[in-house]
Amino acid sequence: MREEVEPNWFPRWEDELPSPEELMPLSQSLITPDLALAFDILTPNPSSEPPRPPPPDFDSPDLSAPPESVSTGYAGEEPARTLKRPRLVWTPQLHKRFVDAVAHLGIKNAVPKTIMQLMSVDGLTRENVASHLQKYRLYLKRMQGLSSSAAGPPMSAADAATEHLFSSNPIPHPFLCRDGSGQETYMQFLAPPLLHQHQQMAAASVQNQQYYHQRQIRHLGSTSDYGLFARGAAQPLGLHRIGVSSIGMMQPPTMASLPNSYGDDMDSGSGRGGRRVLTLFPTGSED
DNA sequence: CTTGAAATAT
DNA sequence: CATATTTCAA
């Protein structure tokens, strides 16, 4: 499990380079990040929370195993587990999956529905994928258009995105903070004043970095708990190796696999002083 | 207040 | 399904 991320993406893999990630049965397990969310009962913030149109139609598969019962001890059980779809946060991992799926599908079959199906990420709706796909395409265009003086052969789009994703992944520029004037100013290498709000990560992989559920009790604590789980987590894994030709079948190619197939323990913007923490597609104007 | 990112509407 | 617009959060 040491051959996950390889810097050897540049060489022409165009044809069908099955990277380790590729070979691995795509499976993403997203689980509840902050347990502290259970505490959001204190300030529901009527001004910005109340009108939450609950998805009336949505298969509620198995909303199981709350990681742990936080010692809430509140009589009224909060139904915020299944209903309530706050907002999808495309964490780098998810994006990675997305890109992988697109890469495997090819531009032809890279349509929202197929992508969504291939990703097999529960809770992910076609809408989400579509939106993201749109942005992804835009990002691609932008990059290609701006590559006037791009050195060397243009790398594959998917790679580019992945690369950028990786770039903004794990603490890219250490202590560079943006000042109010837009000036970059070096901060002391010790500035964890502002913990970001929420971040998705495999709870199972959480070991040392548990500082995350430190959330400032400032404004609404709404965005955090999503019900994203691996869709086929409980399915008898019988079919992996879903090829491009397989997706044309009648039944959704639910490629089930064991969770945590990835070694993705990369954190995105953990904690930084100013803003600019989770910048997925960099517009090129990144500091 | 600005900007970026997802949701929603066309 | 693709694109444009609006909404929401940081």
Q: What is the pLDDT along chain A (287 residues), one digit of tens a residue?
A: 433 333 443 333 444 444 444 444 444 454 444 433 443 433 333 333 343 333 333 333 333 333 333 333 444 444 545 556 778 888 888 888 898 888 888 878 888 988 888 888 887 888 889 999 899 988 888 777 666 555 555 555 445 545 554 344 443 333 333 333 333 333 333 333 333 333 333 333 333 333 333 333 333 333 333 344 444 433 333 333 334 444 444 444 444 433 333 344 444 344 444 444 456 566 554 34
Calculate the angstrom distance between C1' of C5 and CA of A134. 14
Q: Return the pLDDT at A202.
A: 35
| Nucleotide showing the shortest C1' distance to residue A88 CA | B6
Q: Tell me the nt nearest to A226, Cα to C1'.
A: B6
- Strand nucleotide closest to residue A89 (CA to C1'): B6
In the structure, how far is the CA atom of residue A4 from the C1' atom of nucleotide B5, in angstroms? 28
- For residues A214 and A177, what is the distance between their CA atoms, to the nearest angstrom? 21
CB A119 within 8 A of CB A28: yes
Rounded Cα distance between A171 and A173, Å, is 6
- The nucleotides of chain B lying under 7 Å from a protein CB are 4-9
Question: So what's the pLDDT on residue A69?
Answer: 34
A278 touches strand B (CB under 7 A): yes
Contacts of residue A68, defined as CB under 8 A and 6 or more positions apart, other chains included, come to A35
pTM of the model: 0.50
